[in-house]
Amino acid sequence: MVGKKILIIDDDADLVQLVSLIFKKAGAKVVTASDGLDGISKFFTNRPNLIILDVMMPGSNGFDVCQRIRQVSDDALIILTALNQEEDMIRGLAAGADDFLSKPFNPDVLLARARTVLRRTQRPTGNIAPFNYNDGYLSINIERHEVLIHAKRIKLTPMEFRLLVYLARNAGKLLTFEKILTNVWGNEYQGNMDHVHVFISHLRRKIEENPRSPHYILTIHGIGYIFEKRELEYKT
């Protein structure tokens, strides 16, 4: 965390103080905001590496703030929420969050999640194994960090892109929930099955013709998922 700039947006002064202390002890520089509008203003003036954002705030709520930030930036963003329900997680994901953490939380868990999100949302450098997938409907290009549907680019968060590439690279293989968590999020996420289910659900909404009857990401109930190629159907 040394050298990283963290923006904390929350109207709970005690929580802001706690989270600030966690990141300052880890060597980060911390900027705080007490509401959504102040948070957006400080985002533009400070350009943080990571945003920690509470959902329930007066004025602009966390979902609105997240959506506004995502219009101009792919910086790492974690939502803090007491609303531990799948529909609220999906709403946050739709707004562009990279991760979710329910309150109250363990400080060590928050720091571990922050490190993971920062690492996962950075574009890979160096020798990257090239990967391309194109069936005429869905196109994935890892070098361009690009996903197309019918030749039109769709916007994925860095974590969504990482998940899709992992699934597509392993097309035809049964990937258990635990294996997906380990390879996409990291070992510290073991047991957080909601992450897999929520991200898969939202990813389907973006790439599937009919998310209720998916062609690409197939569920193996109680075990995991399989990515199914559709080369023959969509080839021209």
* Maximal CA-CA distance, the chain: 59
Residue that is last in its domain, among 121, 150, 183: 121
Verify that 116 and 20 share a domain, yes or no.
Answer: yes
Verify that 97 and 141 share a domain, yes or no.
Answer: no
The answer to whether position 13 is within a domain reads yes
Among 123, 91, 134, 111, residue whose Cα is nearest residue 186: 111
Would the pLDDT of 236 be above 50? no
**Would you say the C-alpha torsion 46, 123, 195, 90 has a positive or negative sign?**
positive
The answer to whether position 9 is within a domain reads yes
Among 86, 80, 65, 77, residue whose Cα is nearest residue 158: 77
The answer to whether position 127 is within a domain reads no
Q: 53: which 2 tokens?
A: 């954002």
Q: How confident is the model at residue 202 (pLDDT cuts 50, 70, 90)?
A: confident
Q: Which residues pair with 149 in a beta bridge?
A: 138, 152
Q: 160: which 2 tokens?
A: 């969504």
The answer to whether position 24 is within a domain reads yes
CATH number of the domain that 75 lies in?
3.40.50.2300
pLDDT of residue 124: 52
Q: Any long-range contacts for 62-68 (C-beta under 8 Å, 24+ apart)?
A: 62/9, 62/36, 62/92, 63/91, 63/92, 63/95, 64/36, 64/95, 65/9, 65/36, 65/39, 65/40, 66/92, 66/95, 66/96, 66/97, 67/95, 67/96, 68/40
CB 19 within 8 A of CB 62: no
Exposed/middle/buried for residue 121 (C-beta within 10 Å: 0-12, 13-18, 19+): buried
Would the pLDDT of 26 be above 90? yes
In total, how many domains does the chain have? 2
d(CA 28, CA 2): 5
The answer to whether position 33 is within a domain reads yes
The answer to whether position 76 is within a domain reads yes
Verify that 143 and 223 share a domain, yes or no.
Answer: yes
Residue that is last in its domain, among 87, 121, 155: 121
Residue that is last in its domain, among 93, 121, 149: 121
Verify that 145 and 52 share a domain, yes or no.
Answer: no
d(CA 53, CA 201): 22
Verify that 97 and 144 share a domain, yes or no.
Answer: no
CB 41 within 8 A of CB 60: no
pLDDT of residue 158: 80
- pLDDT per residue over 43-55, tens digit each? 999 999 999 999 8
CATH number of the domain that 208 lies in?
1.10.10.10
What is the domain extent for residue 86? 5-121
- pLDDT per residue over 3-20, tens digit each? 899 999 999 999 999 999
- SS3 state at 73: coil
Verify that 89 and 154 share a domain, yes or no.
Answer: no
pLDDT of residue 17: 95
Verify that 95 and 144 share a domain, yes or no.
Answer: no
Verify that 110 and 145 share a domain, yes or no.
Answer: no
Would the pLDDT of 234 be above 80? no
The answer to whether position 126 is within a domain reads no
Verify that 62 and 81 share a domain, yes or no.
Answer: yes
- pLDDT per residue over 89-113, tens digit each? 777 877 888 888 888 889 999 999 8
**Would you say the C-alpha torsion 87, 162, 5, 104 has a positive or negative sign?**
positive
Would the pLDDT of 207 be above 50? yes
Verify that 162 and 229 share a domain, yes or no.
Answer: yes
